[in-house]
Amino acid sequence: MDDKVREDVRVRRMAERGDYDRSTIDAILDEAYVGHVGFVDDGRPVVIPMVVWRFNDHLHIHSANKGRLASVCAGTAVCVSVTHVDGLVLARSAYNHSMNYRSLVVHGVCEVVDNPAERTAALQALVDHFAPGRWGALRPMKAKELAATVVLRVPLEHAAAKIRRGMPGDAVEDAGFPVWTGIVPINTAVGQPLPDPTMPPGDLPGSPVRR
Amino acid sequence: MDDKVREDVRVRRMAERGDYDRSTIDAILDEAYVGHVGFVDDGRPVVIPMVVWRFNDHLHIHSANKGRLASVCAGTAVCVSVTHVDGLVLARSAYNHSMNYRSLVVHGVCEVVDNPAERTAALQALVDHFAPGRWGALRPMKAKELAATVVLRVPLEHAAAKIRRGMPGDAVEDAGFPVWTGIVPINTAVGQPLPDPTMPPGDLPGSPVRR
C-alpha cells in the first residue's frame, strides 16, 4: 500500500482487495450512476443516494439549492461510496460465500462550486457523460435554472477502491464437498431507449441511440 | 404523509416521491444485493457497502468479528441506503434531466444479534434469499465460523422509500423544443451461472440454475 494513503481511507478488512490507483478509482466512478453520500447531520449519520460524476480531479454531486445536502454538506467532511455488484460467489460453506464487486470510497471536504462558468462546465460534463454530445442539443440552460442548482465537489485525493473477482475461496478440506459452487453473474446494462410520446415528430438530435 | 413518520426519515426534496409503506420498503430491500451503511466514526461520516437482507422486521448486515463495522456500529445510530437505478430520464432542458429509481433509507440503532440460534437463522435467510434452498446443501457451518461472524440488525420501523418513474417532466413551454426526449432504461439481471472448475464431477445439489 502507498505510504501516502491516509489512515481513514485505507482498506482494513481484506486489505489485499484495496487499490489506490487513480485509474482504478476513475474507472469505477465513471461507470456509476449514483453514489451514496454520507454526512453527519446534528451528530447523526445520513446517507443519501445522489447522481455522481467525475470532472477533472473531483467527484461531483448536484442538488437543488433548497436541499439539505447543499445546506449541511458545504464545507464539511463527507464520505461517498460507489458500488458495482458483479456476481454472487457461491462457495461450499456458508462462511466462504461472497460477492464479486468493485467499490469506491472517497473521503473529503465537500466544496461548493461557486463560479457560474465552472458550474455550467460541470453540468455539461454530467449530461455529456451519460449521453455523449447531448448538451449542445438541449434547450439552453436559463440563468434561474443555474441559480437554483448547487454543484458540490469532493477531491479524489483520499479515495480507495476495493475489488473482488473470481471463484469462491473455499478451504482446501472442503474441495470435495458435493455442492454446486461457482459464480452467478450480476449484469447491469442499458436497455432500448423509450421515446417520450409527447416529442415532436421527425428525426431529432440528441438521441441516445447510436446511429 | 403518515403522522408517525419520524422527522429524520421524512423525504424532504420531492416529498411527493416518498413512500412509507412496509410493502414498498420490503420490495426495494428484497431486490438489493448491497446497502450503503453510514455511521459516525470519531466524528466523521463513513459509508461502507455491505450485503443487506431482510429477516423478520429488520434489515440485516453481517461482518467479520474483527471488522470496524462490528466494533463501531453496535448500539449506535446508523443510516442504511439502498438504491436501484431504473433509467436515465432525458428531458428537453438540462435542468429537467433526472433518473428513474427506487431507493430506501433506514435510520435506526444497530443491534448485535447475540443469540447463536438467531444468528444462524439470519444467515440461513441470507443464503436462501440469494439462492433459494441452498443452505441445506452446504457443508454445515462450524462453531468457529459462526463465532467469527457478527450479525447486526436495524429495525425497519423508521424507513422511507423514494421512487421516481415515468417520462421527463419538462416545462410546458419546452414541449416543442426539437431534441430527443425519453428514458434510457438501466436493467440489472442475473446472468448464466459460471461453475467453479474445481467442483467434483456429477449432478450436484445447490445449483442456482432452476431445473
Q: State whether B33 and A99 contact (CB < 8 Å).
A: yes
Nearest residue of B to residue A196 by CA position? B182
Q: State whether A77 and B44 contact (CB < 8 Å).
A: yes
Q: Who among B123, B175, B188 is closest to A186 (CB)?
A: B188
CATH level 3 topology of B15-166: Pnp Oxidase; Chain A (2.30.110)
Selecting from 3.40.50.720, 3.30.1330.10, 2.60.40.1080, 2.30.110.10, what CATH number does the domain A15-165 have? 2.30.110.10
Question: Which H/E stretch holds residue B34?
Answer: strand B34-41
Where in chain A does DSSP place strands (E)? 18-19, 34-41, 44-55, 58-64, 77-90, 98-109, 111-112, 149-155, 159-164, 182-190, 194-195
Q: State whether A44 and B208 contact (CB < 8 Å).
A: no
Q: State whether A193 and B182 contact (CB < 8 Å).
A: yes
Nearest residue of A to residue B48 by CA position? A81
Per-residue pLDDT of chain B (211 residues; tens, 9 = 90+): 445 567 778 888 888 888 899 999 999 999 999 999 999 999 999 999 999 999 999 999 999 887 788 889 999 999 999 999 999 999 999 999 999 999 999 999 999 999 999 999 999 999 999 999 999 999 999 999 999 999 999 999 999 999 999 999 999 999 999 999 999 999 999 999 999 999 988 889 998 865 4
Q: State whether A67 and B191 contact (CB < 8 Å).
A: no
Per-residue pLDDT of chain A (211 residues; tens, 9 = 90+): 445 567 778 888 888 888 899 999 999 999 999 999 999 999 999 999 999 999 999 999 999 887 788 889 999 999 999 999 999 999 999 999 999 999 999 999 999 999 999 999 999 999 999 999 999 999 999 999 999 999 999 999 999 999 999 999 999 999 999 999 999 999 999 999 999 999 988 889 998 865 4
pTM of the model: 0.94
Angstrom CA distances, B18 to A40, A61, A98, B200, stand at 22, 21, 32, 50
Q: State whether A184 and B167 contact (CB < 8 Å).
A: no
| Contact residues, chain B, for A9 at CB < 8 Å | none
Retrieve residue A115's grid coordinates: 463560479
Termini Cα distance of chain B: 45
- Measured in angstroms, the CA of B133 and the nearest CA of chain A are apart by 12
Retrieve residue A83's grid coordinates: 458500488
Quick one: which of B37, B27, B55 has its CA closest to B122? B55
Measure the CA–CA gap between A153 and A147, rounded to whole angstroms: 17
The ipTM of this complex is 0.94
Going from N- to C-terminal start, the domains of chain B cover 15-166
Q: What is the pLDDT of residue A2?
A: 47
Does residue A134 sit at the B interface (CB-CB below 8 Å)?
yes
Does residue B132 sit at the A interface (CB-CB below 8 Å)?
no
Q: State whether B206 and A103 contact (CB < 8 Å).
A: no
Amino acid at B24: T
